[in-house]
Homo-oligomer: A and B are copies of this chain.
């Protein structure tokens, strides 16, 4: 199944910034980063369960927001993208 992961992790504290990096790292194991806090992932039922488990270990449920949506497939017909969607290295300097 095709899923979209979106999250809001507060970056006001160093603990928050660390969580943000770890959440992104987990998501990168399952799919593609398409925006700063948005990932597209193709997963089966087992991978979905493991992904959720790993993400819940990283977020602070009292602070952070995590949402997972199932996208209608094929995603190419159910997703529109506008603007600057080139792959950006979200950690490092912007490479142009």
Interface residues, chain A, CB within 8 Å of chain B? 4, 6-8, 34-38, 52, 55-56, 59-72, 75, 78-85
Contact = CB atoms under 8 A, between A and B. Distances in A.
Given A66-B82, A67-B81, A35 B61 contact: no
Contact of A37 (B37, B59, B69): B37
A85 B8 CA distance: 9
Contacts of A71: 69-72
Contact of A65 (B6, B68, B83): B83
Given A6-B35, A64-B83, 8 more contacts: A8-B38, A35-B37, A55-B82, A59-B82, A65-B85, A66-B82, A70-B71, A71-B72
